[in-house]
Structure 1
Amino acid sequence: MASILSTKILTRSQRELVLNTGFGLVEYNAINISFTKVSLPKRIENGIFTSQNAVAAIKDKNIEIERVFCVGQNTRKALENLGYNVMLHAEHSRALGQKITIQYPEATFTFFCGNKRRDALPELLHKHNINLTEIEVYKTSLNIKEFQRTFNAIMCFSPSGVQSYFGANKPQKETIVCIGNTTATAAKLYTDQIAIANTTSIESVIAKTVKVLNKTF
């Protein structure tokens, strides 16, 4: 029986999507998230979120944000569940940045991010002289764990998750299934056995993993 390692603890419904296929599943959190104690503005015009962790960090802060811009379907859902008005959405940071430079070139933005945020989005906005303030609302730390076994597929949801897994485990013949291009770029430092989900959601990563394994098993 083929086996899958998830570098993130799944919800019950997500877990069932895997187990209903008959494949084995092992789960752990490859990264730890902690929210930072930082003074936050009560109102901003334009807020940028590229992860669900940033949304969770400001969830109970009662910040009024006139317009929201985000990366990822689940990030968008989390923001809309909090009542925020999502003006622009993209599947990765660079695509969001490109939309912003075209549609909101004169606007001022606040980027709610973590300590390991990627450079692509801020660099693109600064290149186009767009005013950007960054607020670090959470920190990511690696939960490095060594596995005394192999897997047929490993589901990865962030560059930090990739780094954490390979921090204690050597590449084998497994396929690394990534949530997006940025995570895939990180995985390419360790292996060329990579697949990328069709959309930036956990469910899409699961679907892609099952599809990859069904071709072999």
Structure 2
Amino acid sequence: MLKDAGIGIETYDAISIEHLNPEIPAAFSHYIFTSKNGVRAYLKNRKEYHPLPDELLCYCVGEKTKALLVEKGLKVVKMANNASELANFIINKSEKGPFLVFTGNRNRPELGNILRQNGISFREIKGYETHLNPHAFKREFSCILFYSPSGIKSFLTANKPGNSIAVCIGETTAKEARKHFKKVWIADKATTDAVLDKLIEIYPTLAIT
């Protein structure tokens, strides 16, 4: 996509994921996944005495998370673009859980805060850890693509924002980017391809300036 648009790009892994082995309680039939890594933690650690896939009701953030759940035969009640949107859907739904939330060590607090403030019963289980993988660059980029707040923190550990423009996968990532970057764009959808589409859309403006 970028080659056809005449855009040069450099990539690196800003974070690494370590999957854990949590003990998943069997008493829940409503699961919340905020990322594919949470789904993988569940799949890796589920036991035969847990609810069968067709007995689970899943709520998730992101199209890729939903796609993985569906691929594994799990029923998705709601897919939202970010955690706040998902939490607001749940508090307005007649079914109030309790919910089991699969999280990482760097998850944003919005979902838990909203559920807690509205009296929704839930339990969080840490299924993975996100580790920063800083890398120093000797140049400044016109534009930097970010897919998570952790990616931003990793990049800024070894680099300065300078005059770079940030293109983010969603509002949660953009919220972190606005703390450091003067100009922030958000993809129209929370997908990797949509981030690239947004870069291609704004690139002519970048080239002119």
Task: Give me the TM-score of the superposition, normalised by structure 2.
Answer: 0.91
Q: Which of residues 18, 24, 37 is equivalent to 2:8?
A: 24
Structure 1: which amino acid aligns with 2:30? N
Where in structure 2 are the equivalents of 1:21-100 lying within 5 Å?
21-41=5-25, 44-62=28-46, 64-65=52-53, 66-100=56-90
CA contact (8 A) 1:105 1:130 kept: no
- C-alpha separation in 1, matches of 2:19 and 2:88: 29
- Cα distance in 1 for residues equivalent to 2:142 and 2:70: 36
1:213 and 1:43 map into 2 onto residues whose CA distance is 50
Query: What is the letter of the counterpart of residue 159 of structure 1?
Result: P
CA contact (8 A) 1:158 1:183 kept: yes
Root-mean-square deviation over aligned CA pairs: 1.5
Give, in angstroms, the shift of residue 50 of structure 1: 0.9
| Deviation string, structure 1 residues 170-202 (Cα, Å, up to 9, x no partner) | 112221000111111111111121100111111
- Helix, strand or coil at the partner of 1:26: coil
Distance 1:104 1:172, change over 3 A: same
Between stretches 91-100 and 49-58, larger displacement belongs to 49-58
Identity of aligned residues (%): 31
Q: Identify which range, 207-216 or 143-152, moves more after superposition.
A: 207-216
Alignment of 1:1-217 (within 5 A): 17-41=1-25, 44-62=28-46, 64-65=52-53, 66-104=56-94, 106-217=96-207
Deviations for 1:85-132, whole angstroms, at most 9, x for unmatched residues? 000111111111111011145321000010111111111111111110
The code of the aligned residue for 2:144 comes to I
What is the CA–CA distance in structure 1 between the aligned matches of 2:206 and 2:108, rounded to whole Å?
Answer: 34
Structure 1: which 5+ runs fail to align?
A: 1-16
Q: TM-score, normalised by structure 1?
A: 0.87
Check conservation: 1:112, 1:134, Cα contact below 8 A: yes
